[in-house]
Amino acid sequence: MRLLKAIETFLNRRRIPECMKMPKTLNRYCPYCKKHTEHKVSQNKKKTASSLTYGSKVRARLRGKARGTGNLGRYSKPAVTKFKMTGAKASKKTDFRYECKECKKSHMQKKGFRAKKIEFK
């Protein structure tokens, strides 16, 4: 019984929130004013990452974009398109912009988190 409860709580913890409520204004550190001020929060659409950067080319190669040459050991893996888990994810990472109310300059969120829908209240 305890094990089932532990598994259930573990699974619940990993869920992505359906709709996340965010305040319209937040108190954050402004790197331009160099102090904590009130910021207006806005959300941008997340752009797709460039596929021409060095890191993404290496990653594509490692994941098998240029794979599939007979039975040459590590080169005989199928291409990414043949993998089971291909396609878009159900949720996207957030991309917030914070605009300082004092100096009117905006800066970005350092690290986005996954959410299906964000609602500002």
53-108 pLDDT, tens digit each = 777 778 777 776 655 566 666 666 666 666 666 667 788 888 999 999 999 999 99
Supply the DSSP symbol for 79.
Answer: P
Q: Are residues 100 and 80 in the same domain?
A: no
Domain of residue 121 covers 16-46+94-121
Name the residue with tokens 């039975």. Answer: 71
Of the CA atoms within 13 Å of residue 120, those in its CB half-sphere come to 9
**Residue 30 is assigned to a structural domain of this protein:** yes
Name the residue with tokens 């159900």. Answer: 90
**Residue 102 is assigned to a structural domain of this protein:** yes
Q: Is the pTM of this model over 0.75?
A: no
Closest of 89, 103, 118, 84 to residue 33, by C-alpha: 103
Q: Are residues 86 and 99 in the same domain?
A: no
118 or 9: whose pLDDT is higher?
Answer: 118
Task: Check pLDDT > 70 for residue 40.
Answer: yes
118 or 90: whose pLDDT is higher?
Answer: 118
Per 3-state DSSP, the chain is made up of helix, strand and coil in percentages (nearest 5) of: 25, 30, 45
What's the confidence (pLDDT) of residue 50? Answer: 74
Structural domain total, the chain: 2
Closest of 85, 80, 48, 51 to residue 67, by C-alpha: 80
What's the confidence (pLDDT) of residue 93? Answer: 87
Round to the nearest angstrom and report the end-to-end CA distance of the chain. 40
- Read off the pLDDT of each residue in 9-37 and give the average, rounded to a whole number: 83
What's the confidence (pLDDT) of residue 106? Answer: 95
Task: Check pLDDT > 90 for residue 29.
Answer: yes
pLDDT band per the 50, 70, 90 thresholds, residue 34: very high
What's the confidence (pLDDT) of residue 16? Answer: 61
Closest of 79, 68, 118 to residue 95, by C-alpha: 118
